[in-house]
Chains A and B, each alone.
Chain A
């Protein structure tokens, strides 16, 4: 199937305060793909999201998202940032947080019925992530997995074409990791959304991904999981011997990558 490109990067270099993060990245992400972004801490995974959101600019190269140069406030991008835990005393209900994700024109006096419409849209987004029952729960009492569903609903409520999910699996147990990945996979397929998800552990993602982007050693490689997650490919990326092992259940262990990323740790 010849799907349209929603993100293209041509020789893009990312820096932070004159410090090189990664360079010469060229890749293409197509509509409806589920992309896992992996790599060691500090490799520049979140930097890629900041570039796509228009919060920073590339040092060089050309980056396009939905045919445009990235800019802040793009209404067709849904974003779930890395989160710190929500204050347990936070009593605002989940529905109100989801409602904030609706991109509306900022009006001092919105037309009558706006609040009702916004609540209905927020409820629909919560329903899409199987979190309808959480709508009127205070944010402070929700578990990590429940909060991630609420954040996902907030990102979906504006009906985005692209979802950027920064470590949504962090602090979840394996069962909840798998459930959330399956949910995102279903949304990608049903709504033809393109999802980019940053994660540390490849295993819960592997059955659901179309594409893997690996960022390490100041380089970015993109491709199908079976071509990227190999000893040869990762050894070439890290510039040192990295071994990819699979157990009888298909689970993967990558040996030598952390040591290569942090040789003095």
Chain B
């Protein structure tokens, strides 16, 4: 359980930060696709008796660079990205079917198995997490500019293409470590929904990132805590808590909007 809390904390912070930019750049489908691409890599690694995290990192990073290669409008290339992700998900299914071990490997990849995380995995997650946070801090202002106002950022001399590629690599690596906690299919719960809620309730990027981390962290801790007492998966509790906060936020904002006087 200690390892789960440690890994969950690191992943929630990293996903909260990187996810804010995913939402700001409207790239959530690309982020979702990367997790599916990673599934094939992880399943391949399991088949070869390697650490699944290694397979995840290799495939998601490769996928991220390939998506960046599609150009600055990669996030809107839904058909191409969707076609490739479906193929790779199929490939992952093949690898899992060829694997003679336990079906729990496939289950943990798809839905996360944070309670089974090892001390070694926590260490890798910590190192990778620190690198991602350092890179995001270094790129913060240019990345924010390119995410909000790409044309002006380009005219101001920022290398927007390179920034886009670096960002996709950051998303890829974040996805790899987040899959351990939440799984391939539920990646939205940490990488998209908390920052989406944060974006709705904050008007400054720094505030948004702080809220995003706070929501991802609180829901991850809540999921881990409650799963200690109840015999259901951690990822279910995390996704439910995040979804509930999202619904409440939308409802409160909807009510507030209705109560405002109509402007002429």
Residue numbers of A with Cβ under 8 A of B are 53, 55, 71-74, 77, 79-82, 87, 89, 91-93, 96-97, 100-101, 103, 106, 108, 136, 138, 154
Contacts and interface: CB of A to CB of B under 8 A. Distances in A.
Contact of B148 (A72, A73, A81, A97): A97
B152 A138 contact: no
Given A72-B154, A87-B26, A96 B142 contact: no
Contact of B205 (A81, A92, A106): A92
Contact of A100 (B26, B137, B148, B203): B148
B155 A100 contact: no
Given A79-B151, A91-B200, A91-B202, 5 more contacts: A82-B151, A87-B26, A96-B203, A100-B152, A108-B138
Contact of A81 (B138, B151, B201, B204): B151
Given A96-B203, A136-B203, A81 B137 contact: no
A89 B204 CA distance: 14
A106 B152 CA distance: 16
A159 to B, nearest CB: 14
A89 B205 CA distance: 14
B142 A73 contact: no
Interface string B198-230: 011111110010000000000000000000000
Nearest to A101: B152
B58 interface: no
Given A72-B157, A100-B145, A92 B204 contact: yes
Contact of A138 (B26, B138, B156, B203): B203
Contacts of A55: 154-155
Closest CB pairs A-B (n = 7): A73-B157, A93-B203, A81-B151, A72-B157, A79-B155, A53-B155, A100-B145
Contacts of B151: 79, 81-82
A80 B152 CA distance: 7
21 contacts: A53-B155, A55-B154, A72-B154, A72-B155, A72-B157, A73-B157, A74-B157, A79-B151, A79-B152, A89-B199, A92-B24, A92-B208, A93-B204, A96-B203, A100-B144, A100-B145, A100-B148, A100-B149, A106-B141, A138-B203, A154-B152
Nearest to B144: A100
Contacts of A71: 157
Interface string B112-153: 000000000000000000000000011001101100110111
Contacts of B208: 92
Nearest to B156: A73
B149 A96 contact: no
Given A91-B199, A96-B203, A108-B137, A81 B142 contact: no
Contacts of A92: 24, 148, 203-205, 208
A165 B35 CA distance: 41
B155 A97 contact: no
Contacts of A87: 26
A103 B155 CA distance: 12
Q: Which of B148, B152, B200 counts the most chain A CB atoms within 10 A? A: B152
Contacts of A108: 137-138
A81 B203 contact: no
A253 B142 CA distance: 45
Contacts of A136: 203
A173 to B, nearest CB: 15
A191 B205 CA distance: 31
B30 to A, nearest CB: 17
Nearest to B157: A73
B142 A106 contact: yes
A37 to B, nearest CB: 17
A175 to B, nearest CB: 15
Contacts of A103: 156
